[in-house]
Homo-oligomer: A and B are copies of this chain.
Amino acid sequence: MSNPEDDATTPRVRAGVDQPSSLNPSWTPKLRRTNIQAEEYIRGILQGDRVRLSQAITLIESKQTQHQELAHTIIEGCLPHSGNSVRIGITGVPGVGKSTFIEALGQNVSSQGRKLAVLAIDPSSQISKGSILGDKTRMAKLSANPQVYIRPSAAGDSLGGVARKTRETVILCEAAGFDTLIIETVGVGQSEVAVHSMVDFFLLLLLPGAGDELQGIKRGIVEMADLVAVNKADGDNQQRAKRAAADYRNALHLFPPKSSNWEVQVLTCSALSGQGIAEIWHLIEEYCTFTKAKGFFQGQRQSQARYWLHETIQQFLQEQFYHHPQVATLLNERETEVLAQRKSPFHAAEELVKVFLGLEK
């Protein structure tokens, strides 16, 4: 049986870095030395070995070609064993109490015998090389819970890259037996779209601040939510939280119905006191039953897989294009001409793509 303390042996690797070999030199040579094959990883993961799981995730995060190839093989070995889970996305502006909420929900979930993995997509970690989940003290109880696995956000040079790594991590966690996945992100922009496209259920946490609150949150994010939870409904805030929930409920009527036909709920809760947390978990289970009965649950996962296939094709094409040496040189020149109204953006685009594909010198 694995122990949560096992993870503590590879803390710097778990912080999610692009070049683990340079940050954690002790580990990669060990990998080479023991020449562990993909089969061993897969067997370890399927047996719920967390050290093996953590190491495999580090391979996913690595930029080294040999690591990536090994990771592909491991993932494809785990894929047939993945999927038996509920994937929950959680977002909200900084200060809304996401960590405390995830602690409360996570403790509730694990007390029911479920195995929980908490992941994160944090675009800001691209800059800081840190992570919103880096500080384990943020979720002290969950970190000490043997049913729970916490993995900080991967770093990367693009949101697409970070999202890809997180989605592949989901596969490995599921193969390792985690049946409940929480993917956290901050409510500031594109990262929500990435999380939304890899989860079954999307939860938006809000503060009891009524309508003004929505100002800080992109409209599209509200539209993605399956549940809006007004957190910090404790003490003096209880009445304000109820009023805010009523306001949101009215506002949500203006939205088109969801393709799942699920009616978006608005609840109040207090991650601090635990009020409302059980109801929220109950609602998530209800959602799963509702959408599985109609085939929507599985259908959405298939659409998501298709989405990531085509989204990644686009990402790779653009990466290759913008890193092409000749294109990079010409691009600035063409952009200047476009902005000076000397060249049409379409003509400039056509010329650059031809250069990229070697159709023009």
Contact = CB atoms under 8 A, between A and B. Distances in A.
A238 to B, nearest CB: 23
A167 to B, nearest CB: 8
A350 interface: yes
B72 A344 contact: yes
A220 interface: yes
Given A164-B346, A306-B339, 8 more contacts: A79-B343, A79-B344, A219-B223, A305-B339, A306-B335, A309-B348, A313-B349, A320-B353
Nearest to A216: B256
A352 interface: yes
Given A312-B346, A341-B83, A357 B320 contact: yes
A253 B339 CA distance: 35
A335 B353 contact: no
Interface string A14-33: 00000000000000000000
A230 to B, nearest CB: 16
Nearest to A348: B309
Given A76-B342, A76-B344, A353-B317, A214 B309 contact: no
5 contacts: A76-B344, A79-B343, A171-B344, A306-B339, A308-B349
Nearest to A349: B312
A316 B349 contact: yes
Interface residues of A, number: 58
Interface in A301-315: 302, 305-306, 308-310, 312-315
Contact of A345 (B308, B321, B335, B348): B308
A338 interface: yes
Contact of A342 (B80, B164, B338, B357): B80
A345 B167 CA distance: 10
A168 interface: yes
A158 interface: no
B313 A338 contact: no
Given A164-B346, A339-B306, A352-B313, A215 B256 contact: yes
Q: So how many copies of this chain end up in the complex?
A: 2
Interface in A239-284: 251, 253-257
Nearest to A357: B320
Interface in A193-216: 211, 214-216
A312 B220 contact: no
Nearest to A303: B339
A334 B353 CA distance: 25
A75 interface: yes
Contacts of A167: 346
Contacts of A344: 72, 75-76, 79, 168, 171
Could you say which of A253, A317, A339, A350 has the most chain B C-beta atoms within 10 Å of its C-beta?
A317
Contacts of A309: 334-335, 338, 345, 348-349
Interface in A288-343: 302, 305-306, 308-310, 312-318, 320-321, 334-335, 338-339, 341-343
Contacts of A350: 312, 316
A82 interface: yes
B254 A211 contact: yes
A361 interface: no
Contact of A347 (B72, B257, B320, B353): B72
